[in-house]
Chain A
Amino acid sequence: MRIIETIRRVNQPGPPEHSVRLRVACLCTVIVSIAACASMGEIPVTTTAGGIGLVTAGMAFSYATRSRPPSWVKLFVAAGAIAASVWFVHAVLAPVADVVNVEEPLTLLLVSVLVLHSFHVPSRRDLTFALAASAGLMAVGGAQAINLTFGWYVLAWGCGSLCGLIWMWRSASDGGLISVGRLVGVLSAVTIAAAAVFLVLPAPTVAAKLSLFAKAGIGGSVGIPGALAGDSGSPSELAHPGSPQGPTRVGGYLGFAGSLDTALRGNLGNTLLMFVRAQRPSYWVGETFNSWNGQSWTATNAQAHPLREQSPFMLPFSEQSTASGQTDLQTFYVVSSTANLVFHAQSAAELWFPASRIFFSEDGTIISPIGLGKGAIYSVESQVIAPTSEQLRNDARGGSLSPSTEKTYLQLPHPYPRVQALARSVTAHDGSTYARVESLIDWIGSHTHYSVHIPPLPAGADTVDEFLFGNRVGFCEQISTSLAVMLRSIGIPAREVVGYVPGSYNPITDLYEVRADDAHAWVQVWFPGFGWQSFDPTAVVPLSNPAPGSAALHDVAAALGHVPPVPSSAVLLGALATAGLVHRRRTRPRTWVERVARSAERAGRHAGRHRRPHETFVEYATTLDTLAGDGSSAWRQLAIPVQASAYGGNEPTLATQRLLVTQANHLRRRVTHRARRWHRGGSPAP
């Protein structure tokens, strides 16, 4: 019975809400949230238009019937909500249900509930529910948002919600308004609280492995199945004068094809290629090369075999290491045409891809049968073996590469005696593979320089010889190739890898933004216990996923670092000075009476005696005289003409006014001085 009573009490309708502005604000937030979901493709346009129209009609109906809402409306809303929930459960429990099939029914369920509920919002509490439900709908839309454009919807929704909440307070307080100053304070407080939790919370991760979303996009088709689109591309603009040896590649990068010419560097540009949602930053591996001819890399073992399965594709684990790695899930959102390589972190194990087959080669390269263009989405689960430095240093397990494979990764076109001598001299004191690799990277870091603006190599020249024994200036392909050749020359299996660096991390969207100029080349070294491990002699990769807060702070600090100090300091000082002047002008006493009164009150504060609200000025001045303890009545003599002027209209002459103000200031200074002396322990209390 108690529960029933409680339910009845909770369900009692609140007083009718008469504020039109509050209803309009709530309606706007609901409309914005529906539009946000529609912009993310969660609901079709017809449903969006119908939902917005029905919500508007429902709100108007609710306002018209707010005082006596018809009882059948509540039944109608309840029945509709139950029906929508049943439909949603049925849709979610369908045999083919996955995360994709849950999102759209969830969006439709929320929209349906909002539409139904809009016909029965007589009270303020119901409008609060509408606001909360619109927040949920915004979250559903935000789950699909991958760029900052969604921020416009968030901004509009935030403004609507703020207006709604403020009008809610006005309605609840029977006319209370929030001043502009207080509104600024409220907004600041909301921002600070949101920023604080934003800075503290760790980055979101995909915790559950569900059936992930895959979409083809508008990449078109690839001429030869299993071939790389880069091999059939048109010539691209180079970073320096010269002409490429044959057709150049997608995105201006000379990799992502059957061979990698290290003599040339494409002009990559800054085009945004894809967003990546990942649990940790990685180098996104595109393809690997094992054969070096002195100027170009080729993949002799990259015979791509078609893998005919349905998404998700279970990929054969290509490495023969004994260590078990951790899974790392990445989702790639392609926004510009890119290579038809399926990028991934280290070794891909499972792939959700919008095609009925893919091409997979022994070295782990995955080739898409379709072009990857705007709108394409795919997810990869990788097995990442990330040993510590100590583990790599102590890796003494026997080599697990077959002799033929090992020979492949030790291949060199000629003996490279100078390179070998150099590598041996650099690693003379190192006992482990890892120590040798680190020593060589350190040597390269301290003896070479990175630049893409170098002249092309002479015809027939060896890239490594030119780089290491020439001017020692080059770009990532030349630097990494040099490392790979140095390693091979001292008997360490190594291979060249091309792909993308993680890209810049956006703390709002929690996505890595990969641009064309993030294309990169690095080296993988074979460790018997841990498989192929990446080493980049050109850059340093962060080891863990940055927290959104620290990333945002880093971005802000970087942005502030670009602000010129002198003008910005001048502007800041000017703003502070202006604010101080405005404040002083506003608080400055306007009449001589106010000046004298302020002097007396300041003196009283210093003496520890504030003026009480009911105290007349003469009474207060008498108290100050008593506190002074010297028997004088100076304050009282000042207070009498002040009172006569303020309340009796007996205005003294200008000279007298000045004299009175001067005397008041003098008295105040005397009290202040005595108070300071007392605080220092030099004299009795004032």
Chain B
Amino acid sequence: MSRWPRPARPVAPIGGAVAILGIWWLVAHNGGSGWVQTLGDLVFGTLTVGILGPAVVLARAKVYLFRAPTDSVAGLPLDVGIRASTRLRVRPICPRGEEVFLGPVGRGRPPDDGVTLLPGRRGVHESVTVDIATAAPFALQWWTRRVVLPLPGALHVAPRRGQPDSLPLGHHEESGETNDWTPADVGQPRGARPYSPGDSRRQVHWRATAHAGELMVRDLERPSAEPITLRVALPIDPDEAERIAERALGTVVQLLERGARVRLATAETMGPVVAPVVDRRGAGRRLARAVADAGIVPTPAPAPKP
């Protein structure tokens, strides 16, 4: 759609107005009555302003976006704040959203400025595209114009959390061995050990202390394995890409919940990116930025420290 005002469904109102005025003028001109012609002139003026006036109002309307979140999830509504200098019907186009009326509503009442967007897919939005429309001042003809409202910051729409892929079990999980686990300040409990200076008070294991007769603290461990690199190759088909991204997010979140270190290999507009993700938000942002690219080559993981 053009960024210039365009009439919406113009045939009926404009055709009707032309027909009315034509018949009116024929009757007035051939009837010889000056008042009929004068009335026709007034009707012409009213119809002209009613039909063309909205274009002027729309061309002069000022719309800007003043409030928007930075993160969202596909399929979930999000509220943005849009202010309009005059009363406008706003229909969000990208991302999609509900059609609302914005703008001043009269003295003493705050103007309507809330728009609910409902992004259907993941993605990164630097702006919000909306169709604004008005029929002011006479509601005879609607005119619309497409405007692009820059966002204060990029809006990352993460994919929905899909069903995670079934991950292969590590050998320690099959055998019960714990060779791949190393002591750590945070992680899974491994056992208890005597207190040594520097241990946190929070780690004191009171039951073991009572049992051993000395101050015992929890001994924690964490997997010493290399981070799991999840390669997300999105196809061209947007539906398929969306489905894969949802599965990838589900997998990443599941891995993170298990305590695993995860690296995501994705293709972004600037090229392939392989970087760790530490939480769901980060994973969502990465997947929101991901674009279709079949040729992702993950960078090799750094060698484990001895």
Whether the Cβ atoms of B37 and A206 lie closer than 8 Å is no
User: Which residues of B are found within 8 Å of A203, using beta-carbon distances?
Assistant: 34
Taken residue by residue from 153 to 175, chain A's Cβ proximity to chain B (1 for < 8 Å, 0 otherwise) reads as 01000100110011011011111
Residue in B32, B50, B152 whose CB lies within 8 Å of A205? B32
Residues of A at under 8 Å CB distance from B?
124, 132, 135, 138-139, 142-145, 150, 154, 158, 161-162, 165-166, 168-169, 171-178, 182-183, 186, 189-195, 197-198, 201-208, 277, 506-511, 548, 613-614
Chain B, interface size category, equals 35 or more
With both beta carbons as reference points, the residue of chain A lying nearest to B150 in the complex is identified as A614
Taken residue by residue from 89 to 109, chain B's Cβ proximity to chain A (1 for < 8 Å, 0 otherwise) reads as 100000000000101111000
Q: How many A-B contacts at CB < 8 Å in the complex?
A: 152
Which of B136-144, B170-178, B270-278, B283-291 lines the interface with chain A? Answer: B136-144
Q: Of B35, B37, B42, which is in contact with the most chain A CB atoms at under 10 Å from its CB?
A: B35
Whether the Cβ atoms of A508 and B45 lie closer than 8 Å is no
Whether the Cβ atoms of A177 and B104 lie closer than 8 Å is yes
Alpha-carbon gap, A192 to B41, bound state (A) = 10
In the complex, whether B225 has a CB less than 8 A from a CB of chain A is: no
Q: Is the interface of B mostly helix, strand, loop or mixed?
A: helix
In the complex, whether B44 has a CB less than 8 A from a CB of chain A is: yes
With both beta carbons as reference points, the residue of chain A lying nearest to B26 in the complex is identified as A207
Whether the Cβ atoms of A198 and B36 lie closer than 8 Å is no
Shortest C-beta distance, A622 to chain B (Å), equals: 19
Whether the Cβ atoms of B29 and A205 lie closer than 8 Å is yes
Whether the Cβ atoms of B37 and A548 lie closer than 8 Å is yes
Known: A143-B31, A174-B101. 15 other contacts (CB 8 A): A135-B43, A142-B38, A143-B35, A145-B35, A150-B35, A165-B139, A173-B135, A175-B106, A177-B87, A178-B137, A190-B46, A191-B45, A193-B49, A201-B37, A510-B32
What are 28 A-B contacts with C-beta separation under 8 Å? A138-B39, A139-B24, A139-B36, A139-B39, A145-B33, A154-B38, A162-B46, A165-B50, A165-B137, A165-B140, A169-B135, A169-B136, A173-B101, A176-B104, A176-B136, A177-B104, A193-B44, A194-B45, A198-B37, A202-B29, A204-B32, A205-B32, A206-B31, A208-B30, A508-B34, A509-B34, A510-B33, A510-B34
Q: Of A173, A175, A205, A510, which is in contact with the most chain B CB atoms at under 10 Å from its CB?
A: A173
Whether the Cβ atoms of B44 and A175 lie closer than 8 Å is no
Shortest C-beta distance, B149 to chain A (Å), equals: 10
Whether the Cβ atoms of A182 and B137 lie closer than 8 Å is yes
With both beta carbons as reference points, the residue of chain B lying nearest to A99 in the complex is identified as B31
Residues of B at under 8 Å CB distance from A?
20, 24-25, 27-46, 48-50, 53, 64, 86-87, 89, 101, 103-106, 112, 134-140, 150, 152
User: Which residues of B are found within 8 Å of A507, using beta-carbon distances?
Assistant: 34
User: Which residues of A are found within 8 Å of B86, using beta-carbon distances?
Assistant: 176
Whether the Cβ atoms of B150 and A204 lie closer than 8 Å is no
Given A194-B45, A202-B29, A176 and B103 contact (CB-CB distance below 8 Å): yes
Whether the Cβ atoms of A158 and B34 lie closer than 8 Å is no
User: Which residues of A are found within 8 Å of B39, using beta-carbon distances?
Assistant: 135, 138-139, 142, 154
Shortest C-beta distance, A125 to chain B (Å), equals: 11
Alpha-carbon gap, A168 to B48, bound state (A) = 16
User: Which residues of B are found within 8 Å of A204, using beta-carbon distances?
Assistant: 28-34, 36-37
